[in-house]
Structure 1
């Protein structure tokens, strides 16, 4: 008798966890040389499969651009590997003679990884690399709409790992996908940690399991263009970044906040780059097309080219249009287009001066991207620093693309496809999550100070001052620090 789909999914999750746990017990004893050999083999296999996996992801989900997904796959394999290749994850990783503390790496165990449909193969490659580098086992739960391409990415990595000497079962993927099965994967007693990337419901589900979880959700990234900016570069970068893979990376620009003295020039330059500015009627059509009446996003519009979106909404755009730009006045619940748009639609706000630009940016962040990312194009270092100090986000990108800058491709940030939003964004870190987040550190701590008080070591004669002498000495120090109040 065939199992019910949900029961089959639950059973598969249990089987995968058991196999992964057994494999992890072996892998936890691997040498650094073994770990690095396996990870290098996986990174190369993922890189070589980047184009094929990109095509599969595009064909299965209908999102984005296959050629851009290839770039993301290359990033998630080779670039990520290069960023963690020299990281020690076995044995003694640091020795501090001055503090007499020796730090020893310790793996987490079995990691459950949730993979979004917007980046289904690149996220899989990246998560597998950082987990295995830290000597963990990892099991991936794909989004149902991207199950085949995610499974293929996992198999590419698992086969390369096993050929290089990793135990079978260390890397696995759900094929019987259901909410109940994913829940079993996350809550199983042998699952040590959850690595969740995706929409708000997915992240909340991960945090509600009672397990440690790196959960990172949506961004609503504003890009402020100051009067001191290189406007030509800003126009080129904003348009290209928003069009990249049809805006399926959460750090993509969502609204331009343009300083009035350069706003008209910026708009003209963006038009030359393929940005089409909608009129009021077209803007209203896009509001209705992109969002349901309850404010939720219409998934039929996610990751779609600008001409497709225009036709879907009911109007036409010139050939060569890459991005649709909507001029807006309000921010928040009353304006759907001020929220995150995982597609080629960009908001636009005119402001007078960086202070107003700061206020508008914060309002956009508070609308749906707390803790995530802010972008600024400027050459005035005081304005740049002000944005860095004031914004409730953990990535402030300067004069670069949001899409590629936040993930660490065009900046010095740690290469990653899971971007923490910190406590204010409901995450336990504001970092770009990588291998060192997936291991614990044990510490050998040697005595540095001999306990002076007999009460602490009964039966032993104190070698230091008596309790009365110690109290007198403490009082003398306090008097020196605090004056007669002590």
Structure 2
């Protein structure tokens, strides 16, 4: 059978099976939901090391130990964040307004999963979908289909053993673009949950179904003269090196306030940063991006030493990130865009106002709606960044990788970060179980009696009978004159 046709048929069969499972799951109690989800979270946590290693081996991206940590986050930490959420029956009651809010599941969810964070995203999406009483079908990235399948199977088996219907959690194995398109457009698919590159998200938004999609991140980090410079240097290097920069909220460019720039660079070197010279910077431009501006996937998620050798130069063995001093932003400077590898841009500015302008320029160049980081202790500067940046996560004195996903901040733990209307998404939230339910509202009358206009009162007088007769005769006359008949 033709591979594309086989993939399409698999998608159709899987959606029908998931829909039948969902019909049963949509009627279960909150206790049933929470028991199943707790079992899923524990299974994911226990499988974190195994599937993290599989992910690194299959994709060649990142660090196995770091993927293990992301898997633990996507299972246990995510579960802890949604464990007490009510997703069945009456979830809120406002006695003063006489209003009840009732949770209602979406149905079958199509989940697109990237190769950069494959298994942690699968754990996370399975948990939030099932917590909201939905079925879910995963369409894995072709280069990560084995590890994603293993992660999904761990969740599915745990769910079934805890009482969930078979077919509630699924993963396509015959992966193709036509198959994914069939999954997204099928009549039983209720919603699309897309995490990945721009092309994937655009396809999800074009499928004719409600979709949560996230845009690319091009996260600037501004380091103000009021900052704890030692902490900023430690956090920036560690965050950029984490899993070799495969999380979309990782720092992409440092904007250093000039009075502290030299000291910040010195401290970053002590943490393992290597600052490139003009020739090496130019080599990185050619290595990281194709002539048409697209990213070279050969260096995605690779170590600093690997990227340097690929670009044609060598760095000390202890190097963790490469830092390229830059002057321009936008089309004229490829390195000012998102770099899903261990390369940082470096800009120097005079004061927070210039830092603000450069941040906005970087965000407009490719990360609208996503994330901004600021290291500062001057609350006036911090609030200025919070009020003015066209992004929906402004992290203060935290690292991008773990802060934006809600591991080291108070943000909702999530592996899908909305970029809001400015970034082409329907929400700027960190997506969680709450986004996967509809809410019915049971509303009692609060105004009694109703406004006077709705009472019987005096009935307004209509046209006089003779006037009605005159209009009818005129219509008949006009019809006869024009030889029009019924």
Normalising TM by the smaller chain, what interval? over 0.9
Question: In 2, Cα distance between the equivalents of 1:197 and 1:309?
Answer: 25
Q: Which residue of 1 aligns with 2:323?
A: 325
**Residue in structure 2 matched with residue 13 of structure 1 by the alignment:** 11
Aligned residues: 460
Aligned equivalents of 1:293, 1:223: Cα separation in 2: 27
Q: Which residue of 2 aligns with 1:270?
A: 268
Q: Assess, with a 3 A threshold, how the Cα gap between structure 1 residues 453 and 411 changes in structure 2: closer, same or farther.
A: closer
RMSD: 1.1
Mapped to 2, the partners of 1:224 and 1:338 lie a distance apart of 14
Measured after TM superposition, the shift of residue 249 of structure 1 is 0.2
Matching of residues 160-171 of structure 1 within 5 Å = 160-171=158-169
Of residues 55, 63, 66 in structure 2, which corresponds to 1:65?
Answer: 63
Partner of 1:260: 258
- Corresponding residue number in structure 2 for 1:354: 352
Alignment partner of 1:132 is 2:130: yes
Which has the larger Rg?
A: 2
Deviation at 1:210, TM superposition (A): 1.2
| Residue 142 of structure 1, aligned match among 109, 134, 140 | 140
Question: Deviation at 1:291?
Answer: 0.1
Q: Which residue of 2 aligns with 1:480?
A: none
**1:173 corresponds to 2:171:** yes
Matches within 5 A, 1:359-438: 359-438=357-436
Q: CA deviation at 1:456?
A: 2.2
Q: Any residues of structure 2 matched to 1:147-296 within 5 Å, and which?
A: 147-296=145-294
- Which residue number corresponds to residue 93 of structure 1? 91
Mind listing any 5+ residue stretches in structure 2 that lack a counterpart?
461-486
Structure 2 CA distance, aligned partners of 1:410 and 1:396?
Answer: 13
Q: Distance in 2 between matches of 1:304 and 1:27?
A: 42
State the distance in 1 between where 2:450 and 2:134 align. Answer: 44
Partner of 1:102: 100
CA distance in 2, matches of 1:281, 1:270: 21
**Is the partner of 1:111 in helix, strand or coil?**
strand
Residues 445-464 of structure 1: CA distance to partner in whole angstroms, max 9, x if unpaired? 0001125445424xx469xx
CA shift, 1:319, in A, is: 1.3
- Provide the C-alpha distance between the structure 1 equivalents of 2:200 and 2:428, rounded to a whole number of angstroms: 18
Q: Show the counterpart of 1:483.
A: none
Distance 2:331 2:108 in 1: 40
Question: Helix, strand or coil: the match of 2:174?
Answer: coil
What's the TM-score, normalizing by structure 1? 0.94
Distance 1:453 1:430 in 2: 40
Supply the distance in 1 between the matched residues of 2:72 and 2:176 (Cα, whole angstroms).
29
Partner of 2:309: 311
- Taking the aligned partners of 2:454 and 2:288, their CA distance within structure 1 comes to 68
Matched, 1:442 2:440: yes
